[in-house]
Amino acid sequence: MISPAAAQARHGARGRDPRPDPGPRLETSYRPRHTLDLVATLSGFQRGAGDPAQTADRGVIWRATRTPAGVACTALRQSADGTVRAAAWGPGRQWAIAQVPALCGARDDDTGFAPSLHPVVSQAHHRHPGARLGRSDLVFDALAQSITEQKVTLRQAFGAWRSLVTWFGERAPGPAPRPLFAPPAVDGWRRIPSWAWHRAGLEPPQSRAIVEAARRGAALVRAVESAVDGDARDRPLTSIRGIGVWTAAETRIRALGDPDAVSVGDVHLAHRVGYTLTGHRTDDDGMLELLEPWRGHRQRVIRLLLASGAGEPRRGPRVHIEDHRAR
């Protein structure tokens, strides 16, 4: 186990280290069958401006991922004709290249979706026709990411993710504009020392949930991937202490592009959905009732409602960020 001083030294040195040998570059061109807004589709995978695993620079989206074949760095750019051109470096480059269509929403099936059921949904669908539901197919990364975002502000969550991935992830190869790091392997999450969770700003329930999920590792991932619907995917996740329906839904959305997942328990989502659709706040039960006409596409509707920009005016002071770490 590395000491706090060693980890900090390692963290500081990494930013100055030369990039790993990228090896051969693989390239591909993906021509989507549907209108695609690449930036809108992939922005949901980025955890803040300082995300060590994804960044955007001059029209190119760069991603560092730990694929089943090893770490990869992928660069994606969309041409004026809609074609997505991608290049990948590293031992996981073949997997990353093969993943490009799914990442861009190729498996997002909107059959049966009826935006005309509500004018706000219809207008948002008309204004954002290229926002697809992409999928990373990296279940554990999505799970760890979602756990870090439980019951905290996004600023806290993004900071914790940035610290843990930079400290314990792996530097990605390739010519990214800044150093990128792939998240730790499943066993790597399990071995993160207790002081590092605290230093990153995570509470014990969050770190315990990630460690317990990592202990189940590949079996947990297989159970989620092999399940046939949302409820079946939730069961292996929610069987772990500290993982509830909100975390399970967020995992399904990010890893599997689940078009029907609803993050019940979100502190703001029900209010936002209720106000946008009816002009009044509602609770989780009310949100589910409002979304019921779009069952099968409820996450799609939520995405469009959020993209519409409509919502209740903010009232009151901003939430104060509590920092319990030793100074």
**pLDDT tens column, 169-211:** 999 999 999 999 999 999 999 999 999 999 999 999 999 999 9
What are the angstrom distances between the C-alpha of 87 and each of 27, 63, 321? 4, 11, 39
pLDDT value for 310: 76
pLDDT at 43 over 60: yes
pLDDT value for 327: 38
pTM, two decimals, is 0.89
pLDDT at 2 over 70: no
Q: Give the chain's length.
A: 327
Judged by DSSP in three states, 144 sits in helix
Take residue 173 and report the two structure tokens written for it.
């190869």
* Longest Cα separation, the chain: 58
In angstroms, how far is the first alpha carbon of the chain from the final one?
Answer: 22
Q: Is the dihedral of CA 294, 41, 22, 85 positive or negative?
A: positive
Judged by DSSP in three states, 153 sits in coil
pLDDT value for 22: 73
Q: What percent of the chain has pLDDT over 70?
A: 89
Report the topology of domain 18-119: TATA-Binding Protein (3.30.310)
**Distance between CA atoms of 20 and 14, rounded to whole angstroms?**
11
**Distance between CA atoms of 321 and 327, rounded to whole angstroms?**
15
Average pLDDT for residues 79-107, to the nearest whole number?
97
pLDDT at 140 over 50: yes
**pLDDT tens column, 270-292:** 999 999 999 999 999 999 999 99
Average pLDDT for residues 89-98, to the nearest whole number?
97
pLDDT at 143 over 50: yes
